[in-house]
Amino acid sequence: MSDVITSRLRPAEAPGEGPPKLAVRDLVKTRRSTSGAVVTAVDHVTFDVRLGEFLCLLGPSGCGKTSILNVLAGLDEPTSGEALLDGRPIAGPGPDRAVLFQEPALFPWLSVAGNVDLALKLTGTPASERPDRIRTWLANVGLEAFADVQPHELSAGMRQRAQLARALATEPEVLLGDEPFGALDAQARELLQDEVQRVWLERGGRKTFVFVTHNVREAALLADRVLVMSAAPGRLLEEVRISAPRPRQLDDVLVARVVSDVHELLMREVERARADGSDRPILPQESDR
Amino acid sequence: MSAVTASDAPKLGLRRLAHEIGPPLAGITGAVAVWAVIAALTTTEGVPSPLETWNAFVAGMADGTIPEATVKTLIRLAFSFALAVAFGTLLGVAFTLNEFARRSLRPLVVALQIVPFVAWVPIAVIWFGATERAVVFVTVVGSFPSVTLATMAAMRQVPPILKRAGRTLGADGWSLYRDVILPAALPGFMAGLQQAWGFAWKALMTAELIIAAAGAIGLGHLLAEEADDMPSLVAVVAVIAVIGVLVDYLVFNRLDRRVRRRRGLLIEG
């Protein structure tokens, strides 16, 4: 284990002062498959997210990480357990938690500026302040020249940037990303990752970002802390804290080391799961019970 | 460089125009040619020739019967169609919002859609007499179900991701409908309007043909009046067809293309 990451087998409270910004308590999420069987997507997951923290949920496809994010966004309800924002149960979606969807969910009838404008309007920003805010945020993501363009005329990477501008223009306290860069080509992805890291750093300590990803490099680049999840049903396997200095680059030696260490961790967990020879939970919090 | 651009621009414009109206023009010319051949093989009472029909049309225009009837008909149509769209849209939105309303009333709307317009004429006459109201009733009943069914389908087909995005941006209740669901449903709704327009036009002609509303001659009435004058009759049928096609093309097709182009739903070669 290298010195830039520390791993603890027991995912617990976030470090730092004060109550957590977000808290997930013993969350279970089941869904009905198309064949009618009940599938457990998330299996008793508990974690905290500190104010100003950048957390990544890392896991293979279908491990339930998106289900967790949807509960935090208020788009889905937990089957059991709870999700808290500032200590209060999350009752529904709200502009205090912006979401970056994997497919950029821009409104196709509005221009890029119109999309940002609608977000500002919905959160009650006075009409007189909106043009300035739109300009600022489009400039922030490098889209100032594309304000009046329709979303379908943009490249996939630019659409995600427009979504980022729309999500952040309302100054949400929390940004939730559901593999927002998963469908982009490598170059566009790196640009967006830099963008996100920069935005988060600029608002140092005040914005809480939670991103779901299956990309180890993305998690190592962006996160203060990575929660590694098992394959379905999703459980927390490991918590990895990354103390590499920021702003980070993908080719930083430290980031590269984190990537290889997390890979190693994942492989070890997989081996252990195999050695156990059962689907018995590997989680310490499970064996405690 | 600039000289090339300047000489190219009008040529491109002409080519585009030819591309736009060439095929329909060819179709119409072909149809008139076939018509002329058939007319030459029969009598005026059987199939009047294109020229006889044209002369009847010119005469009808000159003595004012066709223009007057057309204006009366279009006013009736505008009024009835507006009513059908307003009522049909409200009903469609209500069905989307309320499951009980949808499940209890949707079969009735589908039934209305299926019953031929002409079946409503006797009922309308019994209820309203041979009046304007009877004509409007038949037209509205004949066209609003299309609007309702299209409104429901369009709202149902709004991608869930857009609704979720809207909700996370703070849209809820009414604002979710106003700012997300209704605009997202617009293309499907427009398709419903286009279909409803065709039904409204047909229903109105049916109603006018049968119901002689007091003092208000329309194109449908002309069909009844000119029954002994074959060239005039065909001229009126042609006017009805041309108005129908023009409105469909110039109003609904254009609106539809504009909405779809803006959203990147229109792929142009």
Cα angle: A15, vertex A17, A19; to 5 degrees: 95
Same domain, A72 and A86: yes
The tens digit of pLDDT for each residue in B13-31 reads 788 888 878 888 888 899 8
Task: State the Cα–Cα distance between residues B76 and B58, nearest whole angstrom.
Answer: 24
Residue A277's pLDDT band (boundaries 50, 70, 90)? low
When CB atoms are compared, the residue of B167, B168, B264 closest to A108 is B264
Same domain, A84 and A193: yes
Residue B109, CA distances (Å) to A214, B95, B125, B149, B194 in order: 49, 11, 21, 8, 18
Residue A249: predicted pLDDT: 86
- Kindly list the residues from chain B whose CB atom is less than 8 angstroms away from the CB atom of residue A153: 264
Residue A285: predicted pLDDT: 31
Residue B119: predicted pLDDT: 87
Same domain, A177 and A167: no
The tens digit of pLDDT for each residue in A88-102 reads 999 999 889 999 999
The tens digit of pLDDT for each residue in A188-215 reads 888 889 889 988 988 877 899 999 998 8
- Between chains, do A122 and B179 touch, taking CB under 8 Å as contact? yes
A162 and chain B in contact, CB less than 8 A: no
What's the sign of the alpha-carbon dihedral A115, A119, A120, A124? Answer: positive
Domain membership of residue A196 (yes or no) is: yes
Residue B86: predicted pLDDT: 95
Same domain, A46 and A153: no
Residue B209: predicted pLDDT: 83
Q: What is the mean pLDDT of residues A230-246?
A: 82
Residue A4: predicted pLDDT: 58
The answer to whether residue A270 scores a pLDDT higher than 90 is no
Higher pLDDT, A10 or B64: B64
Residue A53's pLDDT band (boundaries 50, 70, 90)? very high
- Between chains, do A75 and B264 touch, taking CB under 8 Å as contact? no
Q: What is the mean pLDDT of residues B252-262?
A: 89
The answer to whether residue B212 scores a pLDDT higher than 90 is no
Domain membership of residue A34 (yes or no) is: yes
Task: State the Cα–Cα distance between residues B85 and A229, nearest whole angstrom.
Answer: 53
Residue A276: predicted pLDDT: 63
DSSP B150-171: HHHHHHHTS-HHHHHHHHHTT-
Return the SS3 of A43: strand
Same domain, A216 and A85: yes
Strand spans (E) along B106-183:
none
- Between chains, do B168 and A75 touch, taking CB under 8 Å as contact? yes
The tens digit of pLDDT for each residue in B92-103 reads 998 888 888 888
Q: Percent of chain A beyond pLDDT 70?
A: 87
Residue A273: predicted pLDDT: 67
Give the strand order in the sheet containing A97-100: A5-8, A236-242, A225-229, A54-58, A208-213, A174-178, A97-100
The tens digit of pLDDT for each residue in B24-82 reads 888 889 988 998 888 888 876 778 888 888 988 888 888 888 888 888 889 889 999 99
Q: Pick from A171, A188, A211: which residue ends a domain?
A: A171
Same domain, A271 and A244: yes
Same domain, A259 and A215: yes
The tens digit of pLDDT for each residue in B161-194 reads 999 999 999 898 889 999 999 999 999 999 899 9
Domain membership of residue A288 (yes or no) is: no
Same domain, A146 and A10: no
The token duo for A113 is: 């500026």
Domains held by chain A: number? 2
Domain membership of residue A282 (yes or no) is: no
Q: Pick from A129, A156, A171: which residue ends a domain?
A: A171
Domain membership of residue A11 (yes or no) is: yes
- Kindly list the residues from chain B whose CB atom is less than 8 angstroms away from the CB atom of residue A75: 164, 167-168
Residue B219: predicted pLDDT: 84
CB of B170 closer than 8 Å to CB of A122: yes
Domain membership of residue A180 (yes or no) is: yes
Residue A284's pLDDT band (boundaries 50, 70, 90)? very low
Residue A282: predicted pLDDT: 41
CB of A165 closer than 8 Å to CB of A116: yes
The answer to whether residue B88 scores a pLDDT higher than 50 is yes
Task: State the Cα–Cα distance between residues B102 and B85, nearest whole angstrom.
Answer: 18
The answer to whether residue B120 scores a pLDDT higher than 90 is no
CB of B256 closer than 8 Å to CB of B110: no
CB of A29 closer than 8 Å to CB of A79: yes
- Between chains, do B263 and A150 touch, taking CB under 8 Å as contact? yes
The answer to whether residue B5 scores a pLDDT higher than 60 is no
Same domain, A55 and A140: no
The token duo for B205 is: 């002609």
Same domain, A272 and A143: no
Task: State the Cα–Cα distance between residues B170 and B167, nearest whole angstrom.
Answer: 5
Q: Which of A66, A58, A98 is nearest to A222 (CA)?
A: A58
Same domain, A92 and A186: yes
Residue B265's pLDDT band (boundaries 50, 70, 90)? confident
Per-state percent for chain B, helix, strand, coil, to nearest 5: 85, 0, 15
Q: What is the mean pLDDT of residues B221-247?
A: 84
Amino acid letter for position B166: G
Same domain, A166 and A267: no
When CB atoms are compared, the residue of A103, A108, A119 closest to B169 is A119
Domain membership of residue A223 (yes or no) is: yes
Residue A204, domain extent: 4-96+173-276
Residue A7's pLDDT band (boundaries 50, 70, 90)? low
Q: Give the strand pairing for A5-8 and A88-89.
A: unpaired
Give the end-to-end CA distance of chain A in Å, rounded to a whole number.
29
The answer to whether residue A280 scores a pLDDT higher than 80 is no
Domain membership of residue A285 (yes or no) is: no
C-alpha A5 chain-centroid distance: 19
Best A71, A72, A118 residue to mutate vs chain B (most B CBs within 10 Å): A118
Q: Pick from A120, A155, A171: which residue ends a domain?
A: A171
The tens digit of pLDDT for each residue in A148-204 reads 999 999 999 999 999 999 999 999 999 999 999 988 888 888 888 988 998 898 887
- Between chains, do B175 and A122 touch, taking CB under 8 Å as contact? yes
Residue B30, CA distances (Å) to A48, A123, B26, B34 in order: 75, 60, 6, 6
The token duo for A86 is: 């500032």
When CB atoms are compared, the residue of B170, B175, B180 closest to A107 is B180
Assign residue A250 the CATH number of its domain: 3.40.50.300
The answer to whether residue A128 scores a pLDDT higher than 80 is yes
A176 burial level (CB within 10 Å; 0-12, 13-18, 19+): buried
Residue A13's pLDDT band (boundaries 50, 70, 90)? very low
Q: Percent of chain A beyond pLDDT 90?
A: 46
